[in-house]
Amino acid sequence: MSVPVKYVSLDGRRLAYREAGSGPAMVFLHGLGGNSASWEPQFARFSATHRVVAWDMPGFGDSEPLATSSATTRDFSTLARRLMEALGIEHAVGVGTSYGTVILADLVQLHPSRITCMVFACGVIGMVHLPPEVRARLRETRRAELEAMGQRKFAETRNSTYLGKAIPKALVDRIVELAGSARPEGYLQAYGALTESDIFPSLAAVKVPVLVVSGADDPIAPARDCERVAKALSDAEYHCVENAGHYVNLEQAEAFNRLVDDFLVRIASERVQQNAL
């Protein structure tokens, strides 16, 4: 499902997003390997029943990078909350993938009433557990790779290896196209924030139901890390999808959509029962 890009200006900088449907809001946050178009199968499935909104993270797709060269997860989560305010979204189902789950968890820690329930797809956990010199070296290496290859070649070299087995070439090409759409400056801002992030302190503040989904063949957010995230949450269910790597919502879109749909139906049913008591 192709959804046109819209724009809003925050602090004088352009932020792009896609929006379709009406009803209860769902807000989608992508990771470092995509943009708002990464959620096309989810727009097709959920816009029939929900108001579906997905942003281009600053520096990705059609969004301008942040004004700072030293970004933090808090910078991204604050901007995500401000986008919700600009669009008149008071409450939403939050759906994140990869680094988007870290941003979503931080948003909930700051503004718990904004998110009614969450989906973490192939969520990374952050790198703050690594020694500072290792994190600094990772940032330097990533910058050197981007300067040497450019964003598109970098995506061809790296992101194409993050997928499950026997993924059709057309989908591999599409994922490379999405990953290659970032601006190097924006990518490095987000990557730098990721190296200084730790999702676990934010998880302690999450009191809403969470669906945690991993890809069985994901080398970036391995199933063991996703299971750790699920166990750290007070109300979570966990599913590992076979024949999927780091892009489970694209690689196994039907299975992923079914898990999300079943999760939302269950949450709605439980709330009806609670209100009836």
**Domain-located, residue 244:** yes
Mean pLDDT of 45-71: 95
Burial of 96 (0-12, 13-18, 19+ CB in 10 A): buried
**Domain-located, residue 31:** yes
73-93 per-position pLDDT tens digit: 999 999 999 999 999 999 999
Domain boundaries, position 142: 5-272
Q: Taking the model in full, what pTM does it have?
A: 0.95
152-162 per-position pLDDT tens digit: 999 999 998 99
- Parallel, antiparallel, or unpaired: how do β-strands 115-121 and 92-97 relate? parallel
Mean pLDDT of 12-41: 97
**Domain-located, residue 204:** yes
For residue 116, give the CATH number of its domain: 3.40.50.1820
Band the pLDDT of 3: cuts 50, 70, 90: very high
**Domain-located, residue 17:** yes
Give the model's pLDDT for residue 127: 97
Give the model's pLDDT for residue 199: 97
- Please determine, for residue 214, whether its predicted confidence score (pLDDT) is greater than 80: yes
149-198 per-position pLDDT tens digit: 999 999 999 998 999 988 999 999 999 999 999 999 999 999 999 999 99
Give the model's pLDDT for residue 277: 56
Of the candidates 58, 65, 178, 193, the one whose C-alpha atom is nearest the C-alpha of residue 124 is 193
Mean pLDDT of 250-260: 97
Q: How many domains does the chain have?
A: 1
**Domain-located, residue 114:** yes
**Domain-located, residue 256:** yes
**Domain-located, residue 277:** no
- Please determine, for residue 240, whether its predicted confidence score (pLDDT) is greater than 60: yes
93-148 per-position pLDDT tens digit: 999 999 999 999 999 999 999 999 999 999 999 999 999 999 999 999 999 999 99
**Domain-located, residue 57:** yes
Q: Which amino acid is at 125?
A: I
Give the model's pLDDT for residue 122: 98
Q: What is the mean pLDDT of the chain?
A: 95
Mean pLDDT of 22-44: 97
Give the model's pLDDT for residue 46: 97
Give the model's pLDDT for residue 69: 77
- Please determine, for residue 273, whether its predicted confidence score (pLDDT) is greater than 80: no
CA dist 168 and 173 (Å) reads 9
Is the four-CA dihedral 20, 213, 178, 73 of positive or negative sign?
positive
Give the model's pLDDT for residue 276: 63
